[in-house]
């Protein structure tokens, strides 16, 4: 029972996070859409959930579960928010669930990995674990920049809000600086 008491709030938090991202994203293109389409904040969900477990494999599984819960919350909220035509709500839900297959595949990997990193941080205090979260914020804008230069993504619409990408990079740098500053230096013996 103790495991369920620990897991249920994490899953609910994942659902709420996903729903909030869908609300922020909204229906229209623009700054809300750009903000709602950032991926790095999604690494926080499994990482923070993973910090609730000292066993790395449990943290990895909880990271995966909370990521899936966040996807569920996102797609359920999207079904309510998006104008998908004159359908019953369950048809709208079917249309949104699974509509981001690429994101879901990467979410399975990132949820597991960042959950494990959360477990590593809490059990071993390896500073690289939270730094990996900061790196996600730093590298996402760089990856988006490179992808928008390819024929597949083509458009520069993602780069329209440069301040958003700069803020994301600065957030990642600030998070890394905070972690490094708060991590006690290990004394080395000769």
Record the tokens describing residue 58, joined without a space: 């449990």
Q: pLDDT tens digit string along 28-83?
A: 777 888 888 888 999 999 999 999 999 999 999 999 999 999 999 998 888 887 77
Phi-psi region of 26 (alpha: psi -120 to 50; beta: other; left: phi over 0): left
pTM of the model: 0.85
Report pLDDT for 86.
79
pLDDT band at 188 (very low <50, low <70, confident <90, very high): very low
For residue 150, give the DSSP letter: S
**119/115 Cα distance (integer angstroms):** 6
**Residue 55: which residues within 8 A CB-CB, separation 6 or more?**
119, 123
């Amino acid at each position: 029972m103790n495991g369920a008491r620990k897991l249920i709030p994490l899953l609910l938090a994942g659902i709420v996070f996903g729903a909030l991202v869908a609300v922020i994203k909204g229906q229209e293109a623009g700054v809300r859409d750009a903000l709602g389409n950032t991926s790095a904040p999604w690494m926080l969900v499994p990482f923070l959930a993973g910090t609730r477990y000292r066993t790395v494999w449990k943290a990895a599984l909880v990271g995966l579960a909370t990521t899936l819960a966040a996807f569920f919350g996102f797609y359920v909220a999207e079904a309510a928010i998006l104008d998908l035509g004159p359908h019953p709500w369950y048809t709208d839900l079917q249309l949104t669930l699974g509509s981001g297959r690429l994101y879901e595949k990467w979410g399975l990997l990132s949820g597991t990995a960042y959950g494990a990193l959360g477990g590593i941080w809490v059990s071993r205090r390896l500073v690289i674990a939270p730094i990996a979260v900061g790196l996600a914020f730093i590298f996402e804008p760089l990856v988006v920049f490179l992808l928008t230069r390819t024929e597949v993504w083509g458009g520069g619409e993602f780069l329209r809000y440069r301040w958003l990408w700069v803020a994301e990079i600065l957030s990642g740098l600030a998070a890394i600086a905070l972690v490094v500053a708060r991590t006690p230096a290990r004394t080395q013996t000769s």
